[in-house]
Amino acid sequence: MAAGAGAAAGGRSFSFKVVLLGEGCVGKTSLVLRYCENKFNDKHITTLQASFLTKKLNIGGKRVNLAIWDTAGQERFHALGPIYYRDSNGAILVYDITDEDSFQKVKNWVKELRKMLGNEICLCIVGNKIDLEKERHVSVQEAEMYAESVGAKHYHTSAKQNKGIEELFLDLCKRMIETAQVDERARGNGSSQSGTARRGVQIIDDEPQVQSSGGCCSSG
Amino acid sequence: MNLKSERRGIHVDQSELLCKKGCGYYGNPAWQGFCSKCWREEYHKARQKQIQEDWELAERLQREEEEAYASSQSTQGAQSLTFSKFEEKKTNEKTRKVTTVKKFFTASSRAGAKKALAGKLKEIQEAKAPSPSIHRQASIETDRVSKEFIEFIRTYQKPGQDIYKQCKLFLDTMSHKRELSIEEQSECAQDFYQNVADRLQTRWKVPPEKVEKAMDEVEKYIMTRQYKYVFCPETTDDEKKDLAVQKRIRALHWVTPQMLCVPVSEEIPEVSDMVVKAITDIIEMDSKRVPRDKLACITKCSKHIFNAIKITKNEPASADDFLPTLIYIVLKGNPPRLQSNIQYITRFCNPSRLMTGEDGYYFTNLCCAVAFIEKLDAQSLNLSQEDFDRFMTGQTSPKKQESDSFSPDVCLGVKQMCKSLDLLSQLNERQERIVSEAKKLEKDLIDWTDGITKEVEDIVEKYPLEIKAKSQALAAIDSENVENDKLPPPLQPQVYAG
């Protein structure tokens, strides 16, 4: 069962949810399409959509089901972030190395994610479009230092040239397995007590009134 | 029957008119040639078997409800209390339905309920019309689902039996827990899913794929039964929220795809087809009872959206495209009881499906869409506050490109047709222009050849070609140069006397 942290009771197979965050034109979609379909800007892409993709991996004998959730990057949808990244095991924060603003956005997301999900979530900060090194506006040093300061890992990728993407996802999976195993051990064999982060999505912004079992007080 | 009456028209015989059974009374073609009395007998016999079956069904239903009924005896007081509340609160059809169902099983005694049910069955059959009774349909569905579930669970043998027992137990416990808050009931259901899944996996060692399948069936089985109690329960303000969202969407009727930057062009007939299908799917969600079926509706809707985007943009849709389009679909469709449905799925869906699967992703997007619609303001549509206020209060509505020539109540098809006609006439015009241009070109070409011919002739006339004899020249090739005669005579050898 893929409840809770996404680890199966047996511990041999894992299901992870990874959210993909990043501003409009940083190449989120290209990144996952390159990873899942090994195609870039291809007119012959067969998938209908690139917003929800899955990938099965086998890492050191452990089966991993990766579900990659793309999120809408437009500013107007920023407030919806928490609905998307609830219960995710990992987040990939993409910025465009030629665009200072997109890096600033990443910083905002990191702050939010840490606030909402604590250290449970594995963060990857990804500088995409390294094929445009000449036009770089975000310095490598600055980005890497920032990543380290927030406990995230930094990666350089190019979806166009297929650089660094395989490594990024592989590394992320390894880290998520580690986190899940630590979590499992901490919970004492896992299976009996997974009632914590199980509940799905709730969009009500006010707390649901928890009633006593008396039951007949009016709900207004 | 038809044939018979036709024949009678030609060959009217006394015996033909009489009852087929030969009782002496006249028969009636409407009763297949029987008299009323014999027909009733005959009909009764034919239906007896079916009634018997239905009776058995009723009995079984009764048995199932028996336990629940016995237990609810103790809480009768509390229940009647909720009843009075029911009466006050019934604001929609659904509540009325629930009331009748409850009344049916609590107010009448066991035997009475059976009789009532059987009576109802008879009534339906004799009326020979599909019953409008929603309760009846609901119980048919419940029954069908039970049958399917039992059949399915049989394939699992021992673990199946165990699971079936667990489900029964759970339903029984839940019938005691109707008074709990919906959150607590949801908690129970989630625990139940978890337990069953664990049990299948650890105790019975069922392979994961089979566990998943079994869990789907378990969800279907228990939620079909629980639906009427836990969908939009009156202890929550789900209904109020439904109305609020509905009103909100209605108030936002003026939002155009352009404002939301929807990457879908409804000008293309295929795309607008997809949009209509997506809207139908999202509206259909409300009619399903099992959370998983509701999710399936959302997924179907999403697939249609992706198709629409793919046709318009010719590349796979990213979330940046998908979410605005989904918002637009929700705004256009205004699906009934949106909040209740979302809450119901959240509370009672098997969590594994909601968390990681594709269905879960689309559901999350729907939640996002609703949240966005609730909080939508001028900024999120790239409008000025004044414009937004004016649109919201209905003082003006944003200009749509097509609104100049169509009144707003003209249906989409007509608009599409008018547009097509327009395009066709433009095309026609252009074609005519091409034909006339082509003719002109042809004429020009002919003129040109004529002109050239004439010019050539003129020139030939002006400078006639004269061929002069070249006899001298020919002879002179190998002889001395022509200018030879101008030269001094060749030197003659002279002999000098030495």
- Reported as a single tens digit per residue, the pLDDT across B370-393 is 999 999 888 888 888 888 888 888
Task: Please give the pLDDT value at position B176.
Answer: 86
Give B280 or B406, the one with higher predicted confidence.
B280
Contact (CB, 8 A) for B22 and B37 = no
Contacts of A97 (CB under 8 A, 6+ apart): A127, A128, A129, A130, A132, A133, A135, A136, A137, A138, A156
% of chain B with per-residue pLDDT over 70: 76
Report in angstroms the alpha-carbon separations of B197 from A180, A186, B159: 20, 22, 11
- In the predicted structure, residue B132 carries a pLDDT above the cut 80: no
Task: Please give the pLDDT value at position B108.
Answer: 43
Judged by DSSP in three states, A105 sits in helix
Task: Please give the pLDDT value at position A5.
Answer: 42
Which chain B residues are closer than 8 Å to A47 by Cβ?
316
Task: Please give the pLDDT value at position A206.
Answer: 41
Per-residue pLDDT band for B444 (boundaries 50, 70, 90) equals very high
- Asked if A48 and B306 come within 8 Å (Cβ–Cβ), the reply is yes
- Give CA–CA dist A7/A179, Å, rounded: 10
Q: Residue B41: count other Cβ atoms within 10 Å of its Cβ.
A: 13
Which chain B residues are closer than 8 Å to A88 by Cβ?
none
Q: Residue B66: count other Cβ atoms within 10 Å of its Cβ.
A: 13
Task: Please give the pLDDT value at position B160.
Answer: 86
Judged by DSSP in three states, A22 sits in strand
State which of B127-141, B283-297, B382-396 shows the largest mean pLDDT. B283-297
ipTM comes to: 0.81
Task: Please give the pLDDT value at position A165.
Answer: 93
Give the CA angle between residues B101, B105, B110 to the nearest 5°. Answer: 155
- Give CA–CA dist B433/A82, Å, rounded: 60
Which pair of structure tokens corresponds to residue A93? 């924060």
- In the predicted structure, residue B290 carries a pLDDT above the cut 80: yes
Give B142 or A192, the one with higher predicted confidence.
B142
Antiparallel, parallel or unpaired: β A13-22 and A153-156: unpaired
Contact (CB, 8 A) for B192 and B349 = no
- In the predicted structure, residue B109 carries a pLDDT above the cut 60: no
- Give CA–CA dist A84/A88, Å, rounded: 8
Per-residue pLDDT band for A124 (boundaries 50, 70, 90) equals very high
Which region among B264-268, B319-323, B326-330 has the lowest average model confidence (pLDDT)? B264-268
Nearest to A2 among B261, B352, B372 (CB): B352
Task: Please give the pLDDT value at position B91.
Answer: 45
- Give CA–CA dist A81/A103, Å, rounded: 17
Cα dihedral A102, A105, A111, A116 sign: negative
Helices in chain A by DSSP H: which ranges? 28-37, 81-85, 100-117, 140-149, 165-186
- In the predicted structure, residue B166 carries a pLDDT above the cut 60: yes
Tell me how long chain A is.
Answer: 220
Task: Please give the pLDDT value at position A174.
Answer: 93
| pLDDT tens-digit map of A160-211 | 899 999 999 999 999 999 998 888 888 765 444 444 444 444 344 444 444 4
Nearest to B364 among A77, A84, A213 (CB): A84
Task: Please give the pLDDT value at position B235.
Answer: 82
The mean predicted confidence, pLDDT, of chain A is 80
Q: Which residues pair with A94 in a beta bridge?
A: A22, A126
Nearest to B322 among A51, A199, A202 (CB): A51
Please, how many CA atoms are within 13 Å of residue B222, restricted to the half-sphere of its CB? 30
Which residues 55-114 in chain A show a CB within 8 A of chain B? 65, 67, 69-74, 76-77, 79-80, 83-84, 87
Per-residue pLDDT band for B416 (boundaries 50, 70, 90) equals confident
What is the secondary structure of B263-307 as a DSSP string? ---TTSHHHHHHHHHHHHHHHHGGG--SHHHHHHHHHHHHHHHHH
Token look-up 């939620």 returns: B223
Task: Please give the pLDDT value at position B301.
Answer: 95
Which region among B42-56, B80-94, B223-237, B394-408 has the lowest average model confidence (pLDDT)? B80-94
E strand segments, B384-497? none
Contact (CB, 8 A) for A220 and B237 = yes
Task: Please give the pLDDT value at position B122.
Answer: 52
- Give CA–CA dist B230/B183, Å, rounded: 10
**Cα end-to-end span (Å), chain B:** 159
- In the predicted structure, residue B104 carries a pLDDT above the cut 80: no
Give the closest residue to B267 by CA, choosing from B412, B429, B428, B430: B412
Angle between helix B269-284 and helix B319-333 axes, rounded to 10 deg: 70
Angle between helix B269-284 and helix B412-462 axes, rounded to 10 deg: 170
Task: Please give the pLDDT value at position A41.
Answer: 74
Which chain B residues are closer than 8 Å to A216 by Cβ?
78, 81-82, 85, 179
Cα dihedral B70, B195, A197, B352 sign: negative
**Region B120-125 average pLDDT:** 50
**Region A26-40 average pLDDT:** 87
Task: Please give the pLDDT value at position B206.
Answer: 84
Per-residue pLDDT band for A4 (boundaries 50, 70, 90) equals very low
Q: Residue B324: count other Cβ atoms within 10 Å of its Cβ.
A: 24
- In the predicted structure, residue B328 carries a pLDDT above the cut 50: yes
Task: Look up the pTM and report it.
Answer: 0.65
Antiparallel, parallel or unpaired: β A62-70 and A52-59: antiparallel
Contacts of B328 (CB under 8 A, 6+ apart): B255, B257, B260, B262, B264
- Give CA–CA dist B363/B341, Å, rounded: 11
Task: Please give the pLDDT value at position B41.
Answer: 80
State how far residue B425 is from chain A, nearest Cα, in angstroms. 34
Give B179 or A41, the one with higher predicted confidence.
B179
Which pair of structure tokens corresponds to residue B314? 């010719």
**Region B410-426 average pLDDT:** 85
% of chain B with per-residue pLDDT over 90: 27
Q: Which residues pair with A127 in a beta bridge?
A: A95, A156
Contact (CB, 8 A) for B211 and B204 = no
Task: Please give the pLDDT value at position B478.
Answer: 56
Q: Which residues pair with A63 in a beta bridge?
A: A13, A58
- In the predicted structure, residue B79 carries a pLDDT above the cut 80: no
Which residues 18-37 in chain A show a CB within 8 A of chain B? 20, 24, 28-29, 33
- Give CA–CA dist B60/B114, Å, rounded: 10
Judged by DSSP in three states, B11 sits in coil
Which class for A190: exposed (0-12), middle (13-18), buried (19 or more C-beta within 10 A)?
Answer: buried
Q: Which amino acid is at B30?
A: A
- Asked if A219 and B236 come within 8 Å (Cβ–Cβ), the reply is yes
| pLDDT tens-digit map of B251-286 | 998 888 888 889 988 888 889 999 999 999 999 999
Q: Residue B376: count other Cβ atoms within 10 Å of its Cβ.
A: 18
Please, how many CA atoms are within 13 Å of residue B292, restricted to the half-sphere of its CB? 17
- Give CA–CA dist B360/B220, Å, rounded: 17
- Give CA–CA dist B142/B192, Å, rounded: 20
**Region B49-72 average pLDDT:** 73
Report in angstroms the alpha-carbon separations of B195 from A188, B200, B249, B374: 17, 9, 40, 36
**Region B219-248 average pLDDT:** 89
**Region B181-185 average pLDDT:** 89
Nearest CA in chain A to B84: A216
Contact (CB, 8 A) for B392 and B251 = yes
Which residues 318-337 in chain B show a CB within 8 A of chain A? 318-324
**Region B346-369 average pLDDT:** 87
Contact (CB, 8 A) for B216 and B292 = yes
* Residue A44 at interface with chain B, using a CB cutoff of 8 Å: no
Contact (CB, 8 A) for B104 and B135 = yes
Which pair of structure tokens corresponds to residue B483? 């200018």
Give the closest residue to B231 by CA, choosing from B336, B333, B375, B161: B336
- Give CA–CA dist B113/A27, Å, rounded: 65
Which region among A55-64, B225-234, B283-292, B478-487 has the lowest average model confidence (pLDDT)? B478-487
Which region among B35-44, B383-392, B425-434 has the lowest average model confidence (pLDDT)? B35-44
Per-residue pLDDT band for B403 (boundaries 50, 70, 90) equals very low
Angle between helix B208-230 and helix B291-313 axes, rounded to 10 deg: 110
- Give CA–CA dist B266/B270, Å, rounded: 8
Task: Please give the pLDDT value at position B480.
Answer: 55
**Region A142-162 average pLDDT:** 93
The mean predicted confidence, pLDDT, of chain B is 79
Nearest CA in chain A to B310: A48
CA of residue B7 relative to chain centroid, distance? 49
Contact (CB, 8 A) for B3 and B11 = no
Per-residue pLDDT band for A6 (boundaries 50, 70, 90) equals very low
